[in-house]
Structure 1
Amino acid sequence: MEMEKRVVVTENEKRKGLNASDLILIGVLLAAGAVLKFFVGTVINFGMKPNFIIAMYCLIILLIKPRLREAAIIGLLAGAICQFFPGQPYINFASELLGAIAMALLTMIPMAIGKFSLKPIVCTFLSTLVSGFTFVGIMYLMYFSGADIKPTPLAAFLVIILGTAAINAVIVQVLYLPLKLALKKG
Structure 2
Amino acid sequence: MTIPNWVKDHRLILGFFLAHLLIFFTFQDKNIFWYIFTATMLFLISYSIMHEEIEDQVPLFTYLSLGSLSGVILFACFLLGSLLIDLVNLPFAKEISRLYNRLSPTVLWHYIVLMLVIIPGEEIFWRGFIQKRIQKAANVTTAVIASSLLYASVHFYSGSFMLPFAALITGVFWGYLYAWKKSLPLVIVSHLIFDLFLFVIYPLN
Category of TM-score, reference length = shorter chain: 0.3 to 0.5
Q: Which has the larger radius of gyration?
A: 1
User: TM-score by structure 1 length?
Assistant: 0.39
More helix by percentage: 2
Higher relative contact order (CA 8 A, sep 6+): 2
